[in-house]
Every structure is written in structure tokens, then in C-alpha cells.
Amino acid sequence: MSEPIYRADVLVCAGTSCESSGARSVLAALTEELAKTGLDQEVRIIETGCRGFCSMGPVMIIYPEGVFYCQVKADDVPEIVEETLLKGRIVQRLVFTETESQMTVPYYEDIPFYQKQQRVTLHNCGVIDPTNIDEYIARGGYEALGKALGEMSPQQVIDEVKTSGLRGRGGAGFLTGLKWEFTAKAAGNPKYVVCNADEGDPGAFMDRSLIEGDPHTLLEGMAICGYAVGASDGYVYCRAEYPLAIKHLKIAIEQAEAYGLLGDNVFGTDFSFHVHIKEGAGAFVCGEETALLASIEGRRGEPRPRPPFPAVSGLWAKPTNLNNVKSYANVPQIILRGAEWFSKIGAERSPGTAIFALTGKVLHTGLIEVPMGITLREIIYDIGGGVEGGKKFKAVQTGGPLGGCLPEEQLDLKVDFDSLRQAGAVMGSGGMIVVDEDTCMVEFSKYFLTFATAESCGKCVPCRMGGRRMLELLTKITEGKGTLEDIDEIESIAAGMAAGSLCSLGQLTPGPILSTLRYFRDEFVAHVTEGRCPAKQCTALVQYYVNPETCKGCGICARNCPVNVIEGGRRQIHIINQDGCIKCGTCLEVCPFDSILKVSGETVEVPTELIPIGTWAK
Amino acid sequence: MPKVKSLDELRKLRDQVKDDISTRIETGTTIIVGMGTCGIAAGARETMHAIMQELESRQINAHVRTVGCIGMCSREPLVDIEQAGKPRVTYGNVYPDMVPRLIEEHLKNGHVVDEWVVGRKTTDDIGL
């Protein structure tokens, strides 16, 4: 056969998540196996971007059937080739199994994880080969840019984006079209279009996945923006820790320029648009717009007071439009399908969809796209499959380290920019971390504060000093040395930081603590007044005891104790010497009889000297 | 690579490249080849290759799928043609030389080739 004719496509996710769980070796095995069986002339392998179902990675979808295989290993490949690709049978053991009903779900479209999702921004992610522009064009790519250049004036483009109601997906939710209009109307030349891809939140990977899986959508959106605001240069500020995203973006720029869809004289018109990539060094503060622009200019990544806003004086003091990756990525479809179509998706004042990186103690972690207005409960239970290990849900943190956390009572809250803000959390750029009953909320907020404090650039005093001071107070509380006054002081510092910090890093740093205090104040109070950590996580506030009633005197705990503080001989009730205990929890893990008690804020009566088992009486 | 100079040119390019992703989008037509051990032994792979060649040369957009044995081993290679809204037709003993007529009659002209048919199923029969 000369030109291969393909009857099936095997789509293997090669996003960063699946790659780290072994997608590379699967791809290698697949290539080898197809060649061996002679199927390489009829079955094609496509490396795609993220499908979102990262907890089940590496994932594979076989078209035209749409068979979905999870957690595929290289060893599974010969069976997949023999059974599915050759004989058309499903390999049941690789199929997704629903946890509750134990039902197997062989087809992609039937999997509950995807049922409540609505893929608008990510519609190409995991469906096309991101390194092949033809596949993007086959899905209607660059038609929006062609339409804008050929049939619309810059003002009409701006009006269309304004009418759609698209709000900035970086987190603040400012109207994107309005921002574009400011830049378009600002005096000064040249103008710039900048994309913020400096996604720095721990546990967030929405922008990375989008660029890895569908880089042309971003480029097309930026080019449309360039046409609308009158810019001929665009910058993507992407963190250097995203090598795959940068690689795909570079390939995409090259391919689009070869077709004349970017670069000089786009679509043969007078409009030229060059996209440059600026790799960031991974400073969290560079996600703040003025710090980001300073970093592109080669200066130290520090924010400056606004106004003037970047729309008036941005990159090299020229009018600059700066949006998040997801904001630009929504634009091509708005232009192509119309503002009215977009405004009907999602919630009334927050149209469109939201992309979240769902992580933490949830069964199915991954990347999800949902219509705005969906409830947190639907996201966590219907899509995420509920809390891992049958534990009880405690809280969900939205908006990353500068966001806020919400308790169970707020689970029916509709997710959109405004309602989240009212509840004390923020949309942020889309991190969503679920925690269960075993998480101490004081420790949890301390974790985010530690992050934000370390990432403070130090330029303004409220952020530099306020964060550090709050961290000291929180540490004091987790060590059981806190007082009620400390809680008041945290609140007063938080108010000062929110009001006095230069940029949103400092202004929002207190967010997680304030929301935790609002919903979980009793946990803070328990730490300071009772010396009790309700989740039994703060090391200073927990104790381990051998249960004298059930101890069998086997000595396993004593032999495993790394600091040798457990006393007791054969068939004697063992005793943990509280003074020397480092509370590592090893005894709890190794005891075969579940006879180690972990307590906080209560005392357990135990023998004071070694006695034989079975002789204990209080 | 030629530069794209207009929206029309882009749309032409799109038509050229859309085959690249054709297995991933609904075509409304699926040709299913029985590929159990019995089917393979009877020459189902050769039949399938002939079908793929025929679809390619006639520029017909259809999915080609393989399935396991359905039990009628004596009539292998079995080929089913499923078109949206029509009963699924099963043809038996389909060999490569029969493929051009099958595609011509069934997909192009819309006539079922009665003498080769071994069965028909409506969607109700298969419980969908």
C-alpha cells in the first residue's frame, strides 16, 4: 500500500500528567506492536493533550468506537492491539469502573466524569494532535480570525466580545471586551497583546493543559485581540517549568506562520501579528500584571501601583492588553458562533464555562470544564466522584493560595465570579482543592500562607511584614501556644494587608485565613482554649497511647519505635513514654491489633508500670 | 507551504485536511467487519482492506470497525453496514472482489444487495 488509509485512531494522552504516569512507554510499546502486527498501515497513533481525567492516566481513546481505557501500562498494549484493534473486542479490565455500582463504562461519552462537563474552551483538548495545525484547521481553526479580518471591523470585534459578556478568566472577572476597548482607545503606538500563562498556584494546571493540548486556540485568540486593539506583536509569558507547553507553542507559531495565519500579512491582509514567548523564572508574583510586564522588559518582577493600568501604559509604557490564557482561548468561538451563543452558556452574569483543576482528597482528580452556575456539590460528587476513601467532606479551597475555603454548608453554592466572592472565596484562575475530615483547617490555612509569604516580592510593607507576622501567629496556634488575642490580631493584620498592599498578592494573601476563620472558627478556638486539634493533625497537640485493654503485648510497636520510647516485655501491656515521643505515628501504623490510641485534648488512663496483659483495671 | 490568503482558501484547506480527523467525528455510516479468529481465517482482513481502499478511492466518508465473532462462522467474512436511521444489514461471505459492487449498490445507490444478505437488524432488535 502506498499512502496508508487509516480506519482507526488511537489517541494517547501525552499531557504532563499522563506522561508522568507512563504515557511515553505506552506510546513506544504501541508503535512497536502495531508495526509487528502490520496494523501500522491502518491504525494511527495520535499524541494528544490532556483529557482531564488525570487520576486515571495514562488514558487512551480508540476511535471510531470511542473506547476509553484507563491506567494503561506498556504491558497492556499487546492485548489492546490483539483484542480491540484487530478483533474489535473490548479489554474489560482496562475499562473505567464506576466506584459505587461497580459498573464498567467502556465508552468515553458515557463516563460520569465527563457527563456534567461542557467542553467549550477545551473542545480540542485531547481530541487533536496539538503539534499538527491541520487537525486544528480541520476542526474549524483560524476561521474566526479569517472572519474577523475579512468581515468585521476592529470595533465590531470588540463589540462582539463585549456583548458575549466574557469575563477575564485570570480570576478577577473583569469584562474582557471592555478591557480590549480601553487598549484600543488608548493613545500611543505600538500597542501590545500579552498573555498571562504564569500559572503559579500549587495544584493548578488549567493553562498548562490548554496550551499543551490546543496551542493554536490561544494564538488565534491573541491574533484576534491584536487586530481588535491595533497591535502587531504579542507576548506569551509562560513559566519555564512548563517545557511541553512551550514546545507545543513554538511548534504552533512556526506552523501558523508557514500558512500565513500568523506573522506578516495574516490572511494576505495588511494585518501582521508576531507572537513571542517569554519564559518566566517561576516567581508567583509575576502572575500579577504589572510585575509580569516588568519581567518581560527584563526588569525585576515587582508590581507597581495602578493606575496607570496596562491598557494605558503597559509593556514599555505602551498601551497593552493583558489577559489570561483561557480568556483568549474563548474568543475564537465567540467570533465564530456569535456573542449570543456564548452568553447563553453558564450563568447570567458569568457566561461561559469555568475550567478547574480538581485536586486533593477527591476520588477523580483532573481537569474539568463546567458551565458557570453549576454547584460545588455537582463538581465534587458527580464529577469528582466524592471524597476519597469514604471519608467525610470538610472543605473546598477555590482560587488557589489567594482564594478561600468553603465548608459543607456552602456546597450548594452556584459557582460563578460573584457568588464565590460573596461567600468569601474567589474564582481565581481555577484551582480547586478538596479536603476531608482528617485535615486541620489551621494547618491548611498555614500551608497557603507559607506559600504566599515565601512568594511575596517584599516591595510593600503590608505584604512583606503582614504575611510573616500572621504566619508566626498561626504557627504559635498550631503549637498549642496561641491565645484568643492572637486570633483577633490575625484578623486585624489581615484587614491591614487587604487594604494596604500594593498588589493583589498582598491584598488576597489573608483570604484563606479569613474564610477559614469565618467557617471554621471553632477549630481555631479549640486549638487555643482546649489545646485540642479536632482533626488530630497538629503534632504538638496530639498524644499516642497504647490501649491497655486491647494490647496483646506482642512488642511490634516497641521494636519499630524510631526513638525507643515504648517499654514492655512479652505479654506485658506496653507503655509509651510521653516525654520522649516524637509523635511520628509509626506505632499506630504497625500495631496489628489497632491498639494504639491517637488523641488530642483528652487524657487516657494507662498503667504507670509494666503489668501483664489482661490485668488492667482502672 | 502555500500561504492562506483568504477565508475561502482556509475553508478549502479545511476540506482537504478534514480526513485527518474523520475517524473522530460522526459520519453516520459504519462498516463493521467480523474479525474473530474465524473471520480472520476466512480472509476478513483482506476484505477489510478492500473496503478501505474502495472508500478511499470513492471518497466516501464512513467508519470501518472490527468486531468479534457473532457465531455465524460458516458465513464469514461477515460485513455489516450500518447507516443512521436505517436497519443494519449483515452480508455473508464477503470477499474482496465483491466489495466494489457492495459499496456501489449499498452506499452509493442505496440498494441493499439482497442475494448476499444474511440478516437485518433494526435498532430495536439489538436493544438500543
CATH label of the domain that carries residue B95:
3.40.30.10
Does residue A233 share a domain with residue A220? yes
In-domain check, residue A253:
yes
Q: Which helix (H) or strand (E) holds A462?
A: helix A461-478
What is the tally of structural domains in chain A? 5
Residues 65-104 of B with CB under 8 A from A: 65-68
In-domain check, residue A285:
yes
Residues of chain B neighbouring A65 (CB-CB closer than 8 A): 65
Q: Which helix (H) or strand (E) holds A191?
A: strand A191-197
Residue B128 reports pLDDT greater than 80: no
Q: Is residue B7 within 8 angstroms of chain A, CB to CB? A: yes
Residue A34, domain extent:
8-109
In-domain check, residue B94:
yes
Residues 81-120 of A with CB under 8 A from B: 85-89
Q: Report the CATH number at residue A30.
A: 3.40.30.10
Given a cut of 50, the residues of chain A with pLDDT beneath it are 1
Secondary structure of residue A137 in the 3-state scheme? helix
Q: How confident is the model at residue B121 (pLDDT cuts 50, 70, 90)?
A: confident
Does residue A145 share a domain with residue A91? no
- A304/A349 Cα distance (integer angstroms): 30
**Could you tell me the end-to-end alpha-carbon distance of chain B, in angstroms, rounded to an integer?**
47
Task: Please state, rounded to an integer, the average pLDDT across all residues of chain B.
Answer: 86
**Nearest Cα to Cα of residue A27 among A45, A52, A51:** A45
ipTM for this model: 0.85
In-domain check, residue A119:
no
- A444/A527 Cα distance (integer angstroms): 14
Q: Report the CATH number at residue A234.
A: 3.40.50.11540
Residues of chain A neighbouring B11 (CB-CB closer than 8 A): 143
Burial (CB count within 10 angstroms: exposed 0-12, middle 13-18, buried 19+), residue A146: buried
- A372/A352 Cα distance (integer angstroms): 6
**What per-residue confidence (pLDDT) applies to B126?**
46
In-domain check, residue B12:
no
**What per-residue confidence (pLDDT) applies to B73?**
85
Residue pLDDT, tens place only, B45-61: 999 999 999 998 888 88
Last residue of a domain, one of A478, A501, A530: A530
In-domain check, residue B3:
no
Cell numbers standing for residue A148: 474577523
Last residue of a domain, one of A291, A319, A343: A343
Cell numbers standing for residue A21: 504516569
Beta strands A366-371; A60-63: pairing state: unpaired
Residue B123 reports pLDDT greater than 70: no
Q: Which residues make Cβ contacts (< 8 Å) with residue B122, sequence separation at least 6?
A: B87, B88
- A288/A402 Cα distance (integer angstroms): 12
Residues 415-474 of A with CB under 8 A from B: none
Residue B67, domain extent:
29-121
- Name which of B55, B65, B68 is nearest A65 (Cβ-Cβ): B65
DSSP bridge partners of B32: B65, B80
Does residue A317 share a domain with residue A260? yes
Does residue A301 share a domain with residue A210? yes
Q: Which residues make Cβ contacts (< 8 Å) with residue A106, sequence separation at least 6?
A: A67, A68, A90, A92, A95, A96
* CB-CB contact of A267 with A149 (8 Å): yes
Q: Report the CATH number at residue A371.
A: 3.10.20.600
Does residue A262 share a domain with residue A310? yes
**Nearest Cα to Cα of residue A354 among A345, A365, A362, A363:** A345
The pTM of this model reads 0.91
In-domain check, residue A115:
no
Burial (CB count within 10 angstroms: exposed 0-12, middle 13-18, buried 19+), residue A499: exposed
Does residue A173 share a domain with residue A263? yes
Does residue A294 share a domain with residue A154? yes
Last residue of a domain, one of A343, A373, A396: A343
Residue found by looking up cell 510499546 in the block: A29
Does residue A391 share a domain with residue A505? no
In-domain check, residue A121:
no
In-domain check, residue B47:
yes
Complete DSSP assignment for B55-121:
HHHHT---EEEEE---S-GGGPSPEEEEETTS-EEEE-S--GGGHHHHIIIIIII----GGGEEEEE
- A545/A549 Cα distance (integer angstroms): 11
CA A597 to chain centre: 36
Q: How confident is the model at residue B28 (pLDDT cuts 50, 70, 90)?
A: confident
In-domain check, residue B65:
yes
- A428/A204 Cα distance (integer angstroms): 10
Does residue A289 share a domain with residue A184? yes
For B66: left if phi > 0, alpha if psi spans -120 to 50, otherwise beta; the answer is: beta
Does residue A80 share a domain with residue A33? yes
CA distances from A445 to A203, A397, A421, A515 (A): 15, 10, 18, 9
Secondary structure of residue A354 in the 3-state scheme? strand
B contact test, residue of A3, A7, A89 with most B CBs within 10 A: A7
What is the tally of structural domains in chain B? 1
CB contact under 8 A, A150 and B66: no
- A226/A235 Cα distance (integer angstroms): 11
In-domain check, residue A324:
yes
In-domain check, residue B95:
yes
In-domain check, residue A141:
yes
In-domain check, residue A611:
no
Q: Which residues make Cβ contacts (< 8 Å) with residue A422, sequence separation at least 6?
A: none
**Nearest Cα to Cα of residue A94 among A64, A73, A111:** A73
Does residue A220 share a domain with residue A93? no
